[in-house]
Amino acid sequence: MDYLFSGLNVIDCATVIAAPAAAMMLGDYGADVIKIEQPGEGDMLRLLSRIPTTPNSGEDWFWQMDGRNKRGIALDLKQPEGMEVLRKLVAECDVFITNQPYSVRESLGICYEDLKPLNEKMIYASLTAYGEQGPERYRKGFDQLAYWARSGLMDLMREPGTVPAQGLPGMGDHPTGVALYAGIVTALLHRERTGEGGMVQTSLLANGLWSASGIAQGVLAGGDMPAYRKNSLEKPFHFRVYRAADDRFLQFNMVRNEELLSLALTAMDALHLLADERFNSLEAMTENTTAFSEELQTIISTKTSDEWMAKFAELDVPVNRVALVEETAHDEQIIANRMAEPPEEDIGVPLIVNHPIQVSSVPKVGHRRAPDLGEHGADIARELGYSDEEIAELQRKNIL
């Protein structure tokens, strides 16, 4: 069947997660995505399922998640013959995606200015760690460094008195991939209307700052950050989590007005707390937030999280249980909304996490197996006009 991006030719000349994830999203909607990797080990993304900071299942699940719906070619771009293949691909592509550091782009000649003359209508999608300009233009960085640490998120997301915590693998990469995809689609719409190609750009730092903007914009507005940090040392009662009898945590973040608080206390059989002058109003509770939180914790610890969730549901109180990622495979809400779904092919992974964009009128390609290293190289070369003899020679030289 035809898909939204059927006939769209995309070059994924990128590594690891964020930029390749944007290419994967285009592939999910039918684009012909050609993944370029270095001969030998290929993209480091192939290794992430087996590093100590990810759960090892014996399957290359990270590669299958972010490398799906692509064709693969291994090219040695340090050799003139390899670059010639790339330039032929660029001449015929609609979208070229890269996150190579600028030092690499300049040495290979794959900056936008280098490739634009080959294809004026091409959308060149550039992802950097810290931005296209400025003193950090050449800095290398993964999402842990640029998105999480450099943006200030790492400092903000911690309990008072604790050291900054490391983020999760891909935590900044995946939302940044969505941003890059959005830029590409915007540029494609512009091209459709005007015939003009162009350069799309975003960075891990820009997306980290955007994620932190609920505080960062206050800084830019001249907000009182010393006061904010002081206030953050003692969180309001509804910004704390409470441990139930089964060692699961409950979150009361949305219990923010007197009506909801009254319902919550009713569910907890704790209306007697309102008779205490320390807790007889929201203002008083805020002034005595530690004492009030301790009272709530004492009560919450008497029942399991299941029991409390049932009581809060009866009165429609917006309390939630802090989920465990181990529950994802059996989460009815996730499955019902196709946030994770079975792949189209048997790839050793029963469920694949979807990107968050779904459009009812736009069908998606099923999750097809991510390519083996260089799997489609000969086919792609033939499509570019190379003869079997020329392909064999490129393979003999380990260029293809």
Q: How confident is the model at residue 32 (pLDDT cuts 50, 70, 90)?
A: very high
Mean pLDDT of 117-142: 96
Residue 304 is predicted with a pLDDT of 98
Reply yes or no on whether the pLDDT at 1 is more than 90: no
Reply yes or no on whether the pLDDT at 82 is more than 90: yes
Reply yes or no on whether the pLDDT at 160 is more than 90: no
Residue 282 is predicted with a pLDDT of 87
Mean pLDDT of 106-121: 98
Q: What is the 3-state secondary structure (H, E, C) of the chain?
A: CCCCCCCCEEEEECCCCHHHHHHHHHHHCCCEEEEEECCCCCCHHHHHHHCCCCCCCCCCHHHHHHCCCCEEEECCCCCHHHHHHHHHHHHHCCEEEECCCHHHHHHHCCCHHHHHHHCCCCEEEEEECCCCCCCCCCCCCCHHHHHHHCCCHHHHCCCCCCCCCCCCCCCCHHHHHHHHHHHHHHHHHHHHHHCCCEEEEEEHHHHHHHHCHHHHHHHHCCCCHHHHHHHHCCCCHHHCEEECCCCCEEECCCCCCHHHHHHHHHHCCCHHHHHCHHHCCHHHHHHCHHHHHHHHHHHHCCCCHHHHHHHHHHCCCCCEECCCHHHHHHCHHHHHCCCEECCCCCCCCCCEECCCCCCCCCCCCCCCCCCCCCCCHHHHHHHCCCCHHHHHHHHHCCCC
Reply yes or no on whether the pLDDT at 80 is more than 90: yes
Residue 201 is predicted with a pLDDT of 98
Residue 146 is predicted with a pLDDT of 96
The domain defined by 9-212+370-396 carries CATH number 3.40.50.720: no
Mean pLDDT of 67-94: 97
User: Do 186 and 198 contact (CB within 8 A), yes or no?
Assistant: no
> Under CATH, what is the fold of the domain 237-325?
formyl-coa transferase, domain 3 (3.30.1540)
User: Do 388 and 42 contact (CB within 8 A), yes or no?
Assistant: no
Tens of pLDDT, residues 266-316: 999 999 999 999 999 888 998 999 999 999 999 999 999 999 999 999 999
Q: How confident is the model at residue 345 (pLDDT cuts 50, 70, 90)?
A: confident
Report the mean per-residue pLDDT for the chain: 95
Tens of pLDDT, residues 215-243: 999 999 999 999 999 988 888 899 999 99
Residue 362 CA, chain-centre distance (Å), reads 22
Residue 234 is predicted with a pLDDT of 86
Task: Say which residue the tokens 């000349």 belong to.
Answer: 13
Mean pLDDT of 10-15: 98
Domain extents in the chain: 9-212+370-396, 237-325
Rounded to whole angstroms, what are the CA distances from 165 to 149, 154, 200, 254?
A: 9, 6, 32, 25
Mean pLDDT of 52-56: 91
Residue 159 is predicted with a pLDDT of 85
Reply yes or no on whether the pLDDT at 256 is more than 90: no
Tens of pLDDT, residues 161-201: 899 999 999 999 999 999 999 999 999 999 999 999 999 99
